Structure 1
């Protein structure tokens, strides 16, 4: 496949900007050259000399650009040496044309010493060197901007992949537990209960797969997703599992990461509900504290959270993944802590920046 099939963004952008800038630059040169000639007492028809000199400069720098483009991408020492050679050659040609055109309007004009040649060469070199510096400066600036944008896209892609990895690492364990429970129900000859659990699992998985882990949802949408998950667990535990949701009105539309609370609920069920014959209660409490959203997930289980988590590898992984996901999304402006309650049970505290969908609109 030809390398031209995928044009260089730097080359494309520089082409778009080159001709307008080239035209404006040499138009400015023409105005300065002609007004300086009028101030020096030249006749009005000298405008043709100014136009001719400007046209020569326009053509020579356009050709110089073609030479510079061929050098682009070479090692810096080779590119610099070749660029200097092209610049000197272009200066000599432009100086020769300038002298020929200017002297054609003056009968007694001539270069009488080597210093005269040096003056014409230096003045022409100054103009072409300034043009070359501007050309390379713009081209390098465009390349740096392209590299910055490419690095940003790569960082965003890695960020998105990390979030998805952290989210989806939690699903296999939950799926294994649920399928194991369904298998037990079938072996216990409880087909109706097993069917309800399969239906609930299907609804939850459909929601989980349809939701984007990079996107945020309102807190009430997250509660609806939790209800799908709890519908599965309710089949297993029946009246042993009680759930209380207490969300103040101001927090209902707060944005949270999709399915961020599911692994925390899973841990609460594991330690507060399944270990006790009488079951237990889980509370989700949401409040606004200044510019932060405070979430508390509490249970009335036996407590001993630190010891239980140290003994269970998956729980450590689930909480660690949730912490990492929050860190990736919010940086230092987040908190996830877990502690034992004085009245018994555990309290998981999640603190996030408070925002709504209206705040996210540009």
Structure 2
């Protein structure tokens, strides 16, 4: 995913930059399209190759990366200059009436003029490709910073989840429920095998995220079998909606810890997804303890809740909403609102019917 995004960014930047640089020449140079278009295309191709080289240099020590990067820019600029001179020598006399009278061009019909044109083109392309390389390096640095922040947020979540689950297993052992504890350990092993291999920078289809949460709820139901049920509501057509991996995990954990574990009566946890225009709404709802004390402290103080807000901010900027709090009927609800994004290549006709499972 990261490599695909970098290639796309490099292409967009290259097309934008060289189109902007060429507009003035296209407008001022009569009949210049035939001589400028090949150079425009070759510049974009060379820019993409340069971006690939710069990406491979990222793993080198800083001084070596800078040195090889400068050489790569010079080599790219020289290659483009050679192409420019060749195009001018072969095409220029036929499409540029007036020859040397055209501003910015010295028709390379002699060796001296070819050298002059090469020097002019080399200087110009060195500046252009140097600016492009600087922009690519800046984009890569920003992406690396964001990647590091996202990975730190995800890895902060794993120990938190593991502690809660192991605490549940310990509770079963203390109760003398060895068989249920064994099943829970096996379920935990499968769950961790999946979650610990997820890339925190990759979004996942909603159906996969909900499947993981169903596995976790099955783990906890082993402990609270007599007073815990869960209801999953996934409308048809939303299975391929993209969400950050494990974004629902802290909400499910809180529902179990503060809803089920703190209550003496049966509690149902409802995990629901729905669509409103171009927005995806996810919610986790559970019953409150009889005295409502489990959520006494201000919302957002927990590690998991704070982690969700940080991840959403890093991923979506200001295009998200996150709210938690009591609602009517003695319930507590946590809701996430995100831009609706679907997996490419999937149509609604390929999606299975609505999922509405109660356990």
Match for residue 199 of structure 1? 186
Please list, as runs of the form range in 1=range in 2, the aligned pairs for 1:43-192 lying within 5 A after superposition.
54-59=110-115, 65=119, 131=120, 134-192=121-179
Aligned CA RMSD, in angstroms, stands at: 3.4
Aligned to 2:334: 348
Deviations 1:266-304 (A, max 9, x none): 111111111112241111122111011112211111346
- The Cα of 1:306 is off from its aligned counterpart by 5.6
Q: Quote how far apart the aligned CAs of 1:30 are.
A: 7.0
1:178-222 Cα shifts (integer Å, max 9, x gaps): 223333434544332221111011011011012222222222211
Q: Helix, strand or coil for the counterpart of 2:127?
A: helix
* Greater fraction helix: 1
Provide the C-alpha distance between the structure 2 equivalents of 1:342 and 1:36, rounded to a whole number of angstroms.
Answer: 82
8 A contact 2:93–2:99 mirrored in 1: no
Write the distance in 1 (CA, Å) between the matches of 2:277 and 2:315. 20
Compare 3-12 and 261-270 and name the one that shifted more: 3-12
Which residue of 72, 77, 82 corresponds with 1:19?
Answer: 82
Residue ranges of structure 1 left out of the alignment (5+ in a row): 38-49, 66-130
Contact kept, 8 Å, 1:305 with 1:340, in 2: the verdict is no
Return the alpha-carbon distance in structure 2 between the equivalents of residues 52 and 148 of structure 1. Answer: 33
**CA separation of 1:335/1:305 partners in 2, compared to 1, >3 Å: closer, same or farther?**
farther
1:251 alignment partner, SS class: coil
Return closer, same or farther for 1:21/1:171 CA change in 2, 3 Å cut-off. Answer: same
Deviation at residue 248 of structure 1 after TM alignment? 1.6
Specify whether residues 270 and 33 from structure 1 end up closer, same or farther in structure 2 by C-alpha distance, changes over 3 A only.
closer
Pair 1:323 & 2:312 matched:
no
Give the match's secondary structure for 1:357.
coil
CA distance in 1, matches of 2:107, 2:278: 65
Note if contact 1:304-1:340 (Cα within 8 Å) is conserved in structure 2: no
The answer (yes or no) to whether the contact 1:217–1:257 under 8 Å persists in 2 is: yes
Distance 1:343 1:162 in 2: 39
Question: Is 1:255 matched up with 2:311?
Answer: no
Relative contact order (alpha carbons < 8 A, sep ≥ 6): 1 or 2 greater? 2
Deviation at 1:250, TM superposition (A): 2.6
Aligned equivalents of 1:197, 1:138: Cα separation in 2: 64
Runs of at least 5 residues in structure 2 that lack an aligned partner in the other structure: 1-60, 101-105, 348-359
TM-score, with structure 2 as normaliser: 0.68
Q: 1:292 aligns with which of 269, 272, 279?
A: 279
SS of the aligned residue for 1:259 comes to coil
Change (3 A) 1:32 1:177: closer
Q: How far 1:12 moved relative to its partner?
A: 2.4
Contact 1:335 / 1:352 at 8 angstroms: preserved in 2? yes
> Residues of 2 paired with 1:216 and 1:205: CA distance?
18
Structure showing greater radius of gyration is 1
Q: Give, in whole Å, the separation in 2 of the partners of 1:187 and 1:255.
A: 40
Q: Secondary structure at the match of 1:165?
A: helix
